[in-house]
Amino acid sequence: MKRQDSSNEKKPVELNNMSFRFPGSESELLRGINLEVNRGEVLAIMGLSGSGKSTLCYCISGIIPHIKKGIIEGEVKLQGRSVSEMTIPEVSRMLGMVLQDPDTQLFSPTVEDEIAFGPENFGLPWSEIDARIERVIEKVGIQQHRYKNPRELSGGEKQLVAIAAVLSLEPDILIFDEALSQLDAAGREMIMELIVRLKDEGKAIIMVEHNPDNLGVADRIKLLKNGEMFDLEPHDLKSHDTETHDTGPLDLKKLVLKLID
Ligand SMILES: Nc1ncnc2c1ncn2[C@@H]1O[C@H](COP(=O)(O)OP(=O)(O)O)[C@@H](O)[C@H]1O
Ligand SMILES: [Mg+2]
């Protein structure tokens, strides 16, 4: 008999013909989305502001429909299980999401408490929680902020704390929703290296990104436009970059429109 094996064989993230609309809205914000992310893969999602990228992330992470309301059709599956049939604690054992705005994610009085919150909720022993705190603050380079109140930190530092807090849960699936947007060049570089390491460890990673400079780590790039998902080849971006020598976000918007229209 064939061995029925581990969740490893199941797709970390799989969306089949998924559509979404907000309650009370007549039109669908997302239509017929098909998406999969494999172990050891970074999928980047781009799109103009308001195109529904964060909403898509909420649908994948179960925030919709469990916390925010909305009507989802089609399938959203994590490791082969339907997100709508899982509880939020079940989802959080598999998936960690760094939100676009760190202020909505951080609520503890110290950075250390913020990082400990998830592992404490998982009921891990204090020695293990402490080891994880040490590990993640070192990984994202925030040792000097360990005992500070996250509210006193800069936007970029807050993003690093949010990333550390998510990493402390050691999820197999990670979503970064424009989570590098407030970091300086050095911070971005460090997180990009971290993403490469996480990918090598076999994590499935979704990155919502505006900055083409951050797309070097992406294995595949998708574009969300008018509620639909399109494939974008990394070389489309690179060839354009060398033509214009401009990688600014405004130029990227032009490129995205040019590629799709
Ligand atoms: N709770 C809500 N009810 C109705 N519309 C919403 C709600 N939240 C967001 N939207 C709208 O959905 C659209 C997509 O938003 P969002 O997913 O945040 O886009 P992006 O992350 O690509 O900037 C926007 O037009 C936004 O105004
Ligand atoms: Mg967004």
210: Cβ contacts below 8 Å, ≥ 6 apart? 46, 178, 181, 249, 252
Q: Is the pLDDT of residue 6 over 80?
A: no
Confidence band (pLDDT; 50, 70, 90) for 213?
Answer: confident
Q: Is the pLDDT of residue 2 over 50?
A: no
Q: What are the structure tokens assigned to 234, written together?
A: 């990394």
Q: Is residue 73 part of a domain?
A: yes
Q: Is residue 71 part of a domain?
A: yes
Closest residue CA from atom 6 of ligand 1: 22
Of the candidates 117, 178, 106, 188, the one whose C-alpha atom is nearest the C-alpha of residue 149 is: 106
| pLDDT tens digits, 40-80 | 999 999 999 999 999 999 999 999 999 999 999 999 999 99
Confidence band (pLDDT; 50, 70, 90) for 1?
Answer: very low
Q: Is residue 53 part of a domain?
A: yes
Q: Is residue 2 part of a domain?
A: no
Q: Is the CB–ligand 1 distance for residue 214 below 6 Å?
A: no
Distance CA 246, CA 241 (A): 6
- Mean pLDDT of all residues in the chain? 89
Q: Is the CB–ligand 1 distance for residue 49 below 6 Å?
A: yes
CATH number at residue 46: 3.40.50.300
137: Cβ contacts below 8 Å, ≥ 6 apart? 111, 115, 143, 145, 146, 164
Q: Is residue 22 part of a domain?
A: yes
Q: Is residue 252 part of a domain?
A: yes
Q: Is the CB–ligand 1 distance for residue 29 below 6 Å?
A: yes
SS3 assignment, position 21: strand
Can you tell me the mean pLDDT for 196-217? Answer: 93
Neighbours of 32 (CB within 10 A): 15
Closest residue CA from atom 27 of ligand 1: 50
Peptide bond into 65 cis (omega under 30): yes
DSSP-derived letter for residue 25 is -
CA of 56 to the centre of ligand 1 (A): 10
CA of 11 to the centre of ligand 1 (A): 27
Handedness of CA 106, 147, 208, 89 (dihedral sign): negative
| pLDDT tens digits, 154-181 | 999 999 999 999 999 999 999 999 999 9
Q: Is residue 1 part of a domain?
A: no
To test the pocket of ligand 1, the residue of 21, 30, 55 to mutate (highest count of ligand atoms within 8 Å of its CB) is 55
Q: Is the pLDDT of residue 250 over 80?
A: no
* Residue span of the structural domain in which 135 resides: 7-260
| pLDDT tens digits, 86-126 | 999 999 999 999 998 999 999 999 999 999 999 999 999 99
Of the candidates 125, 131, 140, the one whose C-alpha atom is nearest the C-alpha of residue 189 is: 140
Q: Is residue 232 part of a domain?
A: yes
Domain count, the chain: 1
